[in-house]
Amino acid sequence: MEIREYTNYKETEILRLYNSVGWTAYTDNPETLRLGFKNSLRVLAAYEGEELLGLIRAVGDGYTILYIQDILAFPEHQREGIGSALIKALIEQFSKVRQIVLSTDAIPKNIAFYFEHLLFILSLYIFEYCLALSSSSFFLLYS
C-alpha cells in the first residue's frame, strides 16, 4: 500500500468510494463534493498500484487547526490498516498544527474503530507534538 497526495480528482472513483460506505449526502450533489475536494487543505489517498483503497480529506488553515473532514475506505479493504496509515501520514505532514479535530457519526462501528485502533496511535503522536510545541490539543468529536 502506498499513501500519496490525491491531486487528480476522478469523479467516478470518488462517487463509488463514498457510495460504498453509504455517504450519500455527499454523492447526492457531485459538484459540491468536487468543489469540497478542490478547496480542501489536503487529500491523501491509499493505493495498491493504481487501485484506490481509501482516502482522508482535511480542511483548515494548516497552521493552527487541521480538521479531518473525511476518512473512508472501500468496505472490502476496511480493517487492513488503511485508516491508521492515512491518519499517520496526514499528522506527519502537519506536525506543527496546534489543534487536530476529527468528527464522526456516533455509531458503534465508528466508535470501535477510533477507540480500538486509532486512539493509541494518535495519543503517541499527540504526546510527541505536545512535548515539541508547548501547547497542542486534539479533539475527537461525535455527532
Number of H helices, E strands in the chain: 6, 6
Q: pLDDT tens for residues 83-98?
A: 889 988 998 899 888 8
pLDDT for res 125: 57
Q: What is the pTM of this model?
A: 0.77
Q: Residues 129-139: what's their mean pLDDT? A: 49
Q: Residues 12-19: what's their mean pLDDT? A: 96
Is the pLDDT assigned to residue 126 strictly greater than 80?
A: no
**Would you mind telling me the total number of residues written for the chain in this entry?**
143
Region of poorest pLDDT, from 4-8, 40-44, 62-66, 129-133: 129-133
2-142: CATH topology is Aminopeptidase (3.40.630)
pLDDT for res 47: 97
How many angstroms separate the CA atoms of 40 and 59, rounded? 5
Q: How far is CA 70 from each of CA 18, 28, 134, rounded to the nearest angstrom?
A: 10, 16, 28
- Grid cell of 107 as nine digits: 455509531
How many angstroms separate the CA atoms of 67 and 69, rounded? 6
How many angstroms separate the CA atoms of 5 and 123, rounded? 24
How many angstroms separate the CA atoms of 119 and 42, rounded? 22
pLDDT for res 136: 46
Instruction: Name residue 60's beta-bridge partners.
Output: 66
